[in-house]
Amino acid sequence: MNGPCIHPCKHWLTLRGECCECRSYIKRITLPTGLRDTSFPECRHWVAQQGVCRRCGEEVDERDGMIPFDYIAERTQLSQEYVTAMKRQKSRIGYGLRKLHLVLNLRSTLLDSCHISRLADRDKHLVEQVGVRDDVRRFSKRYACSDVLVKLRPFFDQFLREADGMFVMHVYTNLCRSDSRSMVRMLDPQGIFFGRRVIVHEDGLDHEHKTLGLVLAQQSGVVIVDWERRAWEPKDRRNLIQIKPYRYFKYNPRGTLRILFSFLKNKLFKVDSSPPPEQNMYDDDQSDQDTALMDLLKSLKDIHRRFFNGPSYDVRVLLNP
């Protein structure tokens, strides 16, 4: 696995001069619009960026069966044929390393967040703990009335370290791209655990549900961790492990104008800027003693062991006996 690659990388996906696959620097080459390389007379247009096939240079209709994968690189589209092939290849590489794929929800799973202006009185002291406590962070949100305070779930660091040895990890969240990137950097500042595998709301074709169609791995080897089952397409729910939602902050019931603004923003721009649904703002059952991630880690270790040592090579069978 660590030896030289038999088939050199084709550098089909690049971002800011860096190959998204092998991470090597690629000198940018600009192809004139409409120019087709005659050495590829039967090009299937598997990969396109900015409407141009990365292989032959011909213009590609982005609506012609191409699936957007902006989380890999900006304005990148892959054909269904290529997606299927990549899912198979990525899974085989993972199996060779004894790794499955793990898709993690972000908010209310790995962390909780709240606008500082909406903090309840009992939580306002946490603003002064930013920079003192490792599990309390803060970031500025565009077009927001105040900064956002983030509380990372207890044992998140140990969970990510140990899960990384068993899984290729992805984040899939209903947050917007800028917010999700800010929060993922808090969990993984060096990009060791997630890399560019951060899928957000606007990446999905069906904005009503999350889908494993955007995860480059075969469904039989993918485990989903989310607190909300109905957020996923029905066909993907057999891959799901539900986790107790992490709701650390107690939202201030006042501030009606701010709440109304968030509601309108959510409806108009399809961006999740409201508290997680079904949250009781007066609920007081959360504390720093939350052990859900450690309990989850035990379950994931068991699934990993049974997958690679048992007769079944489908996590859906293990999750739904």
Q: Is residue 217 scored above 90 in pLDDT?
A: yes
Which pLDDT score is estimated for 20? 63
Q: How many Cβ atoms from other residues are within 10 Å of residue 226's Cβ?
A: 23
CATH architecture under which domain 100-273+284-306 falls: 3-Layer(aba) Sandwich (3.40)
Question: What are the domain boundaries of the chain?
Answer: 18-96, 100-273+284-306
Q: What pLDDT is stored for residue 66 in this prediction?
A: 87
pLDDT in tens, 41-82: 578 888 888 888 888 888 887 667 789 999 998 889 999 999
The answer, yes or no, to whether residue 23 has pLDDT greater than 80, is no
Above pLDDT 70, what percent of the chain? 74
Q: What is the pLDDT of residues 84-105, one digit of tens each?
A: 999 999 999 999 999 999 999 9
Check pLDDT > 50 for residue 36: no
Mean pLDDT of the chain: 82
Confidence class for position 202, pLDDT limits 50, 70, 90: confident
Neighbours of 229 (CB within 10 A): 11
Tokens read off for 250: 């107690």
Average pLDDT of 34-47?
64
Report strand pairing: 76-79 vs 52-53: unpaired
Integer CA distances (angstroms), 34 to 52, 56, 58, 86, 306, in order: 9, 10, 5, 27, 52
Distance between CA atoms of residues 226 and 207, nearest Å? 17
